[in-house]
Structure 1
Amino acid sequence: MRSEFGVSLAYGLMRTLGQSIVTGAFEQTGFPTEAELCQKFGASRTVMREAVKMLSAKGLLASRQRQGTRVEPVENWNLLDPDVLRWLMERPYSNKIFKEFTQMRLAIEPTAAALAAQVQNKLAIAEIREGLEAMSAAKDPDASLQADIDFHVAILKASGNPFFWRLKPMITNALNLSIQLTNQIAGHTADLAQHESILVAIEKGDAVTAEAASAAILRESLTFIEKAAEASAA
């Protein structure tokens, strides 16, 4: 059985190598050999193989007999993996991925809000309200950000759709970065009135209004991101 220390080392290497892969560090040189990686990081072959195995499971690497290990093309990466998504969003040229992620949210979250209004799970809806109240009471940006994330994730849970709820790790991870970006562009934290309109519609069982209110927030976020991209290009 592997020791916890070995697992921790392997995860640290996986994270370092994953960030390097996503930022294109090996595009010109190709992925290093196992021996080269062990020498560079001072790691054992066992630990290095475990790190490579984890990256292969995320779709970033592929090993072929007599061909070694190579970086997979982006279309093979598991973009729903929380680590992969975070590394993508941490890239300095990440406006495109923020836009694509927000487009995905636009396809999911308004439907989740509509379902929450229809399902009427009172305990789950209470968690949405807790998120809103925490946003209102937040005294610093970090607390406000966490409350905003809790609000949106609670809507996924209140939808009653287990597939939406399974997206929680990815949504939480990506929201942590994307909300910071849109708040920075907008020059303020989340609009409480906009968020409250979603909650009120859900509490009233008004699926149409809940869906529209959720979509409105996300379309505004898309507009902010597109303007930021235009400004960067200029």
Structure 2
Amino acid sequence: MARDDRDERARDAVVLPLASASHRLHGAVARDLGIAILAGRYPPGAVLPGEIAASESFSVSRTAYREAIRTLSAKGLVESRPKAGTRVSERGRWNLLDPDILAWAFETEPGEAFIRDLFELRQIVEPAAAELAAQRRTDADLARMARALDGMARHGLAVPAGRAADQSFHHAILEATGNAPLIALSSSVAAAVTWTTIYKQRRRALPRDPLPEHRALLEAIAAGEGAPARARMAELIRLALADTEWSMVE
């Protein structure tokens, strides 16, 4: 084996301090760069460090760094051109609904405008989805929703297991619509639900128990009542936004 290859393998064995142990090295580098971009340390139009300097800075191989850049490019955060280097894309090209980008945004201070935009998106998508789910749900769909609510009741939203159950509930509603484009949004919507829930608990406990609104929504879907299901989902989101606004007050 050539010395350069051995050196690259040795660098790839380094565990970065900020990286999750479950991620591959290039995923950890993509995460760190993605957070830096979303935090504004690399604004749109900025050129990222060259491959050699960056791989040395992250203590990874040039191959791992290139893979990280490809990951960011696929998410619309950067674009690479021959001889011009890698440049941060304009914000309009960022895939802000990508679950990774949502996670990275909330590892910085995402800003009130972005959070309100997420709730606005939810108000557009989820009430209509709830109405469709009430019309099209199957017994299996209802069972998944009920199990999710049981998990929320058992764990609460202050812990990961409870938030995962909340994600599953919203995911099950979108799946119950039978609408493929809506179902494709489910990972993004569920990620938005989880990260805003974490955000609004970062300084203090939730001011109320959100489970009753979730149960009322399930009752409307189970009864096949489309218009009430739409209204109850809209109210659930409105209250969630109110909780989040309350958490923003110092």
State TM-score, norm by structure 1. 0.86
Aligned residue for 2:29? 13
Task: Report matched runs for 1:8-87 at 5 Å.
Answer: 8-27=24-43, 30-87=47-104
Q: Whose RCO is larger (CA < 8 A, sep 6+)?
A: 1
CA distance in 2, matches of 1:205, 1:132: 18
Equivalent pair of 1:95/1:225 in contact (CA under 8 Å)? no
Equivalent pair of 1:149/1:175 in contact (CA under 8 Å)? yes
CA distance in 2, matches of 1:103, 1:195: 19
Question: May I ask how many residue pairs the two structures share in their alignment?
Answer: 228
- Letter in structure 1 aligned against 2:199: L
Aligned residue for 1:110? 127
> Which of 104, 114, 117 is the matching residue for 1:100?
117
- State the Cα RMSD in Å: 2.5
Is the counterpart of residue 203 in structure 1 residue 219 in structure 2?
no
TM superposition shift of 1:154: 1.2
- Letter in structure 1 aligned against 2:181: F
Equivalent pair of 1:89/1:98 in contact (CA under 8 Å)? no
Aligned residue for 2:17? none
Q: Structure 2, unaligned stretches of length 5 or more? A: 1-8, 14-22
Deviations 1:122-152 (A, max 9, x none): 1111111111222222267313322222211
Describe the shift of the 1:82–1:59 C-alpha distance in structure 2 as closer, same or farther (beyond 3 A): same
Describe the shift of the 1:219–1:199 C-alpha distance in structure 2 as closer, same or farther (beyond 3 A): same
CA distance in 2, matches of 1:39, 1:141: 39
TM superposition shift of 1:13: 1.1
Task: Report matched runs for 1:175-194 at 5 Å.
Answer: 175-182=193-200, 187-188=206-207, 190-194=209-213
Is the counterpart of residue 174 in structure 1 residue 192 in structure 2?
yes
Determine helix, strand or coil for the equivalent of 1:62.
strand
Determine helix, strand or coil for the equivalent of 1:48.
helix
- Letter in structure 2 aligned against 1:18: G
TM superposition shift of 1:224: 3.4
Identity among equivalent positions (%) equals 33
Aligned residue for 2:148? 131
TM superposition shift of 1:74: 1.1
CA distance in 2, matches of 1:110, 1:69: 40
Deviates more, 1:141-150 or 1:12-21: 141-150
Aligned residue for 1:160? 178
TM superposition shift of 1:88: 1.6
- Letter in structure 2 aligned against 1:187: L
CA distance in 1, matches of 2:157, 2:69: 39
Q: Structure 1, unaligned stretches of length 5 or more? A: none
CA distance in 1, matches of 2:40, 2:156: 39
State TM-score, norm by structure 2. 0.81
TM superposition shift of 1:72: 0.9
Determine helix, strand or coil for the equivalent of 1:211.
helix
Equivalent pair of 1:112/1:156 in contact (CA under 8 Å)? yes
- Letter in structure 2 aligned against 1:157: E
- Letter in structure 2 aligned against 1:181: Y
CA distance in 2, matches of 1:166, 1:106: 17
Describe the shift of the 1:50–1:183 C-alpha distance in structure 2 as closer, same or farther (beyond 3 A): closer
Determine helix, strand or coil for the equivalent of 2:102.
helix
Describe the shift of the 1:80–1:140 C-alpha distance in structure 2 as closer, same or farther (beyond 3 A): closer
